Amino acid sequence: MDNVNFMKMFLTMQDMSMDNSTSIKDKVKAKERIVFATHGIIKPSDWAELTDEVKLNRLNKLQTIK
């Protein structure tokens, strides 16, 4: 299993551990810890300027990589 598949697995487990009352900010914080710790994935230079909704959308798209 390669790094991206491990990342996707941990993101899925993270999704299962959060309930519906978890704030978007907390979801982004948890997911970005996993994603940006993955070898080969670099945080975009404009990441701090994006809204949490856009960040979460981008992080969720990573789970669909094949």
* Number of domain units in the chain: 1
The span from the CA of 31 to the CA of 51, in Å, is 15
The pLDDT value recorded for residue 26 is 95
Q: Would you state the pLDDT for residue 66?
A: 79
Residue 60 clears pLDDT 70, i.e. is over it: yes
Predicted pLDDT of residue 7: 94
pLDDT of residue 51: 97
Residues 2-54: tens digit of each pLDDT = 889 999 999 999 999 998 899 999 999 999 999 999 998 999 999 999 999 99
Asked if residue 58 has pLDDT above 70, the reply is: yes
Supply the range of the domain harboring residue 45.
Answer: 3-62
